[in-house]
Amino acid sequence: MIYRIQALLMGALLLLAASSLSCSAWANEAVPEGEAAPVSHLISLHPLFMPVLRDHRVTKYLVLQINLEPAPGAQTATIRRNLPRVHDALLREVYLIGKEIAAEKVDLDALRVRLMQVIEASLGPDQISELYFAGVSEMRL
C-alpha cells in the first residue's frame, strides 16, 4: 500500500515538475509577432510523462518527446504563445490514455491521432500539420 502511494506521489511530482518547467521555458521565449513558420521548422515540446496504470497502480511511465510541425502559413508566435495550454491538454490526455492501455506495447499511430485531436482542439484547425515522436522511452517502477 505504501509503495502504491509513493509511486503515485512520485508520478504526480514528475508531472508537476515537467509542467512548471515547460511553462517557464515557453514564457521566456521571444518570437516576433506575425512570423510565418517555414515548413521545416519544428517546435519541440518538453517531455510528457505518461503513467501506465494496471489494477489501479502505476506500473511504468512512458516519456514522450514530441515535435510539432507548423502548417504552412501558420503563425509560429501564436502557436508558441499557446504552448502552455496545449501542454496541459496533452498531459490530461496522456493520463487518460495511460489508464486505458491494456497491452504491454503502446500503439504510437493511435496515440499520435489522439494527441493531434487534442492539439487541434487547443490551437484550432490548420495550425499544426504533423506530430512527430522524437523519442519514446520507458521508466519501469
Query: Is 67's pLDDT higher than 80?
Result: yes
Q: What 3-state class would DSSP assign to 33?
A: coil
pTM above 0.75, yes or no: no
* Helix 83-100 / helix 108-123 crossing angle, nearest 10 deg: 140
CA Rg value for the chain: 16
| Cβ neighbours around 51 below 10 Å, total | 25
List pLDDT tens digits, range 42-51: 999 999 999 9
How far is residue 46's CA from residue 66's CA, in Å, rounded to a whole number? 7
Per-residue pLDDT band at 69 (split at 50, 70, 90): very high
Output the average pLDDT for the chain: 80
Question: Coil, strand, or helix at residue 101?
Answer: coil
Is the pLDDT confidence value at 113 over 80? yes
Q: Quick one: pLDDT at residue 93?
A: 96
Cell of 107: 500503439
Task: Give the model's confidence band at 64: pLDDT under 50 very low, under 70 low, under 90 confident, else very high.
Answer: very high
Alpha helices in the chain (DSSP H): 2-28, 76-81, 83-100, 108-123
- The tens digit of pLDDT for each residue in 24-33 reads 444 445 555 6
